[in-house]
Amino acid sequence: MDLHTRYLGLELRSPLVASASPLTGDLDGLRRLEEAGAGAVVLPSLFEEQISHELAEIDRMFSSGRPASPNPPSYPRKLDDYNTGLWTYLALAEKAKRGLSIPVIGSLNGTSLGGWVRHATRLQETGVDAIELNLYDVVANPAVTAAEVEGRYLELIAAVKAAVRLPVAVKIGPSFTALASTAVRMVGAGADGLVLFNRFLQPDIDLATLSVQPRLRLSTSDELPLPLRWTAILHGRVRASLALSTGVHSGADAAKALLAGADVAMLASALLLHGPEHMRTVERQLVACLRGCGVASLARARGMLSQRDVPDPSAFERANYLETLAAQACSEEHGHGDSPRERSTDVGACTATAPSGVGAVDGHRPRRRQHDRPLLAIATVGCCSSRAATSARSTPGRSTSSTSPSRPSTSA
């Protein structure tokens, strides 16, 4: 199967992209990812705090003639172990561009408008193919409103786009009051792509030391549904590339991302767990999964199950909550420990997860028919039908022929 795709206007040999992680922080890891079949690589984020500290220390040395002073308290010293500063980062970007044949995407995490613009310009000079703005920002000040935060984001996107010629992707978190509207406005401000989602690393409390400690917990496939939902909702509604990030660990996960409408599926935790060569395994699984679903090409698959194209769009909204509860109730009554959707996550289950019309060999989009429903609704109806029939058979004086299976209602 031809897996070539486009992301941010770039030609990729595969929709599987290695997102920012320690594996993309050195040339050896980048080469191994390319050899394993990555369609593109995203370099680790360069943090503005790190750059500002480094430049301040250099200025202090030259002006005073004394060695650099210790880091100020606001500077996270452990960043030195993640990447080694501005000049080393820019050198890595240049080496990656010279040494790889796949697109190289630089990543920035800033704190000030001037910092974002200044460092995006520097990154552009290294020859990278695109820039990812990593909006990792925990807004803890209760005096700052959502409108202020969103306005600041729109301003920096517009400023960076005005300063560089490269495609710009924006990596965001899911915690927006009206995410769909914010996404549309970000694209209007100049974003060429959206990466869903940024995965905030959560602090923990160490009871032994009574201190707050950072904890790195790698993602699992259980985290896939959140970006999957919003990818499906935004597909066809924003004029920008969509990348699904978080929870992609297998070919089945990647297939779901593409069917929801993603242009690429990004991997980090899975590669840290299994090594760069896992990319090759995921690609093999992806091809097998799409073929098992009866999808003939990547172009046919993309967006086939987006909100715009499924027979029942409400499945991605509140109705999904109601149907999940109904499916779980049916599952527990019949002795199953998980829901129908959860039991259909392996590659072999792909042929069972396509709604009516998807399984055609030519991969045409499903016809909209009144009785068609996404997978969860179909499974729920079948389960409840069995329950109704069983109940009728066990009730004296009632005939199964007179029993009408109940169907869960959905709102438009």
In a domain, 359, yes or no: yes
In a domain, 321, yes or no: yes
Q: Could you tell me if 163 and 43 lie in one domain?
A: yes
Please report the pLDDT score of residue 49 as a whole number.
61
> What would the mean pLDDT of 198-217 be, rounded to a whole number?
91
Question: Among residues of the chain, what percentage have pLDDT more than 90?
Answer: 61
CB burial of 295-319 (b: ≥16 within 10 Å; e: otherwise) equals beebebbbbbbbbebbbbbbbbeeb
Please report the pLDDT score of residue 378 as a whole number.
26
Q: 104 CB contacts (<8 Å, ≥6 apart)?
A: 30, 40, 41, 43, 93, 96, 97, 128, 129
**pLDDT digits 0-9 by tens, 337-347:** 554 444 444 44
* Res. 175 pLDDT band, cuts 50 70 90: very high
Highest mean pLDDT range out of 70-74, 185-189, 337-341? Answer: 185-189
Q: Could you tell me if 226 and 297 lie in one domain?
A: yes
> What would the mean pLDDT of 109-136 be, rounded to a whole number?
93
Higher pLDDT, 312 or 44: 44
Structural domains of the chain, count: 2
Please report the pLDDT score of residue 200 as a whole number.
80
Q: What mean pLDDT, rounded, does the chain reach?
A: 80
Confidence check: pLDDT of 124 > 80: yes
> What would the mean pLDDT of 120-148 be, rounded to a whole number?
94
**pLDDT digits 0-9 by tens, 358-373:** 443 333 444 443 334 4
Highest mean pLDDT range out of 139-143, 227-231, 349-353, 382-386? Answer: 227-231
The C-alpha atoms of residue 268 and residue 21 are separated, in whole angstroms, by: 6
Single-letter residue type at 206: D
Confidence check: pLDDT of 381 > 80: no
Please report the pLDDT score of residue 392 as a whole number.
39
Q: Could you tell me if 282 and 328 lie in one domain?
A: no
In a domain, 247, yes or no: yes
> What would the mean pLDDT of 325-342 be, rounded to a whole number?
65
Q: Could you tell me if 293 and 318 lie in one domain?
A: no
In a domain, 149, yes or no: yes
Confidence check: pLDDT of 30 > 50: yes
Lowest mean pLDDT segment, chosen from 205-209, 261-265, 330-334? 330-334
Q: Could you tell me if 319 and 265 lie in one domain?
A: no
Q: Could you tell me if 252 and 386 lie in one domain?
A: no
> What would the mean pLDDT of 260-277 be, rounded to a whole number?
98
Tokens of 288: 């097998």
Among candidate residues 131, 171, 175, the one with its CA nearest the CA of residue 149: 175
Among candidate residues 35, 76, 58, the one with its CA nearest the CA of residue 277: 35
Confidence check: pLDDT of 60 > 70: no
* Res. 299 pLDDT band, cuts 50 70 90: very high
Please report the pLDDT score of residue 25 as a whole number.
96
* Res. 112 pLDDT band, cuts 50 70 90: confident
Confidence check: pLDDT of 225 > 60: yes
* Res. 314 pLDDT band, cuts 50 70 90: confident
Please report the pLDDT score of residue 280 as a whole number.
98
> What would the mean pLDDT of 169-178 be, rounded to a whole number?
95
Confidence check: pLDDT of 374 > 70: no
Please report the pLDDT score of residue 345 as a whole number.
44
Domain termination site, one of 301, 324, 353: 301
Domain ranges, residue 326: 313-402
* Res. 336 pLDDT band, cuts 50 70 90: low
* Res. 323 pLDDT band, cuts 50 70 90: confident
Q: Could you tell me if 289 and 368 lie in one domain?
A: no
Confidence check: pLDDT of 379 > 90: no
Task: Give the per-residue SS3 of the chain.
Answer: CCCCEEECCEEECCCEEECCCHHHCCHHHHHHHHHCCCCEEEEEEEEHHHHHHHHHHHHHHHHHCCCCCCCCCCCCCCHHHHCCCHHHHHHHHHHHHHHCCCCEEEEEECCCHHHHHHHHHHHHCCCCCEEEEECCCCCCCCCCCHHHHHHHHHHHHHHHHHHCCCCEEEEECCCCCCHHHHHHHHHHHCCCEEEECCCCCCEEEECCCCEEEECCCCCCHHHCHHHHHHHHHHCCCCCCEEEEECCCCCHHHHHHHHHHCCCEEEECHHHHHHCCCHHHHHHHHHHHHHHHCCCCCHHHHCCCCCCCCCCCHHHHCHHHHHHHHHHHHHHHHCCCCCCCCCCCCCHHHHHHHCCCCCCCCCCCCCCCCCCCCCHHHHHHHHHHHHHHHHHHHHCCCCCHHHCCCCCCCCCC
> What would the mean pLDDT of 243-258 be, rounded to a whole number?
98
CB-CB neighbours of 19 under 10 Å: 28
Q: Could you tell me if 110 and 174 lie in one domain?
A: yes
Confidence check: pLDDT of 327 > 80: no
In a domain, 159, yes or no: yes
Q: Could you tell me if 357 and 289 lie in one domain?
A: no
Please report the pLDDT score of residue 337 as a whole number.
55
In a domain, 354, yes or no: yes
CATH number at residue 113: 3.20.20.70
